[in-house]
Amino acid sequence: MSQDTPEFLLERHPNPVTPAERERLLQDPGFGRIFTDHMATVRYSADRGWHDARIGARADLSLNPSTLVLHYAQEIFEGLKAYRLPDGSATLFRPEANARRFRNSAARLAMAELPEDLFVASVEQLVRLERDWIPSADGASLYLRPFMIATEVALGTKPSTDYLYAVIASPVGAYFKGGGSAVTIWVSDNYTRAAPGGTGAAKCGGNYAASLQAQAEGAREGCDQVVFLDAVERRWVEELGGMNVFFVFADGSLQTPPLTGTILPGITRDSLITLARDLGMTVREEPYSIDQWQADAQSGKLAEAFACGTAAVVTPIGQVKGRKHGFTIGSGGAGEVTLRLKAALQDIQRGRSDDKHGWLHKVA
Ligand X SMILES: *Cc1c(COP(=O)(O)O)cnc(C)c1O
Binding site for ligand X (CB under 6 A): 79, 203, 239, 242-244, 264, 266-269, 309-310
- For ligand X, give the closer residue by CB, 38 or 269: 269
- In whole angstroms, what is the distance from residue 319 CA to residue 331 CA? 9
Tell me the one-letter amino acid at 258.
P
Give the number of other Cβ atoms within 10 Å of residue 100's Cβ.
Answer: 15
- For ligand X, give the closer residue by CB, 111 or 243: 243
Q: How far is CA 328 from the centre of its chain?
A: 26
- For ligand X, give the closer residue by CB, 243 or 248: 243
- For ligand X, give the closer residue by CB, 269 or 350: 269
- For ligand X, give the closer residue by CB, 152 or 238: 238
Q: What's the closest the beta carbon of residue 9 comes to ligand X, in angstroms?
A: 29
Q: What's the closest the beta carbon of residue 282 comes to ligand X, in angstroms?
A: 21
Nearest-5° angle of CA 326, CA 305, CA 256? 110
Q: What's the closest the beta carbon of residue 26 comes to ligand X, in angstroms?
A: 23
Q: What's the closest the beta carbon of residue 205 comes to ligand X, in angstroms?
A: 10
Pairing verdict, β 141-150 and 162-172 = antiparallel
Q: What's the closest the beta carbon of residue 307 comes to ligand X, in angstroms?
A: 9
Distances in Å between the alpha carbon of 264 and those of 187, 198, 210?
18, 12, 14
Count of positions (residues) in the chain? 364
Tell me the one-letter amino acid at 354.
D
CB half-sphere exposure, 315, CA atoms < 13 A? 26
